[in-house]
Amino acid sequence: MMKNKMMKIKYSFFLLSMVVLLFASCGTQTGNKKAQKKDTSRTIVSGFNADSAYAFTAKQVAFGPRVPGTKAHAQCASWMINKLKQFSDTVYIQKFKARTYDGVTRTGINIIGSVNPDETSRVLLLAHWDSRPFADHDKDPANYHKPIDAANDGASGVAVLLELMRQFKLNNPEKGVDVLLVDLEDWGPPDFESHPYNENNWGLGSQYWAKTPHIPGYQANYGILLDMVGAKNPTFKKEYYSMGFASYVVNEVWRTADELGYGEWFVNAEGGAISDDHIFINKYRNIPTIDIIHLDSHSSNGSFYEYWHTTGDTMDKIDKSTLLMVGKVVGTVVYNN
Ligand SMILES: [Zn+2]
């Protein structure tokens, strides 16, 4: 589907350039304006600022672990709301209650920033912003009950999306873009307790939003979830559910990455099946949504980024060039699709 759409876009550019050529001698404004539009993909590639994305990551981590119910969580929420007010046209704050696996009802906050809110053609970009309250994969069991800094598993995705929004403010993507920062993704049962696996224990914020979107009946053409997109030398593989729900989006993202010279990290191989926020966006809202997630079968946990769900998920593991790569890839996809 994406392929057909791309061909259509290219075909219309061909027609458009003919029109521009025809009108060039008459010096029409319309022709010039439309011709400029084609360059937006190049603009994002040069504009996305790695220092800015890095600073957005560091800022979140500096609040302390953003565990729902804590002061750090509340402070980070107001900071993100202010940033989105700066970079987008409309901001929605969605407070919700959800029950975690332990039967406790907790309050979460989903935050949505929209660019070009009146456009019907929209793209959804999302990341979770909460920090996991347990370091249940730490090497030292004494750390199991400690919350994690979540520099990569949370903050990195949010940071890339905030920087993208800053870019969209500077160079209008000429379509609707919504950044959805979901809460309570990572309060699933810890490994040191034995609970039967249930995917519904994860992604509580995205489940709530998918069933009760900020605008009733909300739809987008496609969605991209970012999760753990800031570590040095990452491996992004084509995640199984993403391929099942939205293979054309996966292929477009990986093709773009390859075109930009990032084929070494956006590996052209199938990855494992990961229960993440994209599942609920696909299941409950029918928006074809993919997950860009750091999958590493050679790590000590056997699946993810080495410091996943450990006290080692800290700022010193964050690499500017990874944030830049993901920002460029996603930005280019958004401007062109
Ligand atoms: Zn996590």
CB of 221 within 8 A of CB of 289?
no
**55 CA to centre of ligand 1 in angstroms:** 21
CB atoms within 10 A of CB 244: 12
**48 CA to centre of ligand 1 in angstroms:** 26
Q: H helices of 63-198, where?
A: 71-87, 157-170
Q: What pLDDT was estimated at residue 42?
A: 59
**7 CA to centre of ligand 1 in angstroms:** 38
**297 CA to centre of ligand 1 in angstroms:** 16
Q: What pLDDT was estimated at residue 36?
A: 47
- How many Å apart are CA 19 and CA 251, to the nearest integer? 31
**DSSP letters spanning 81-107:** HHHHHHHSSEEEEEEEEEE-TTS-EEE
**308 CA to centre of ligand 1 in angstroms:** 7
**271 CA to centre of ligand 1 in angstroms:** 17
Taking 70 as the pLDDT cut, the residues of the chain under it are 1-45
**46 CA to centre of ligand 1 in angstroms:** 31
Residue position matching structure tokens 């010039």: 32
Q: What pLDDT was estimated at residue 281?
A: 98
Q: What pLDDT was estimated at residue 44?
A: 66
**84 CA to centre of ligand 1 in angstroms:** 23
105-115 and 176-182 strand pairing? antiparallel
Q: What pLDDT was estimated at residue 28?
A: 37
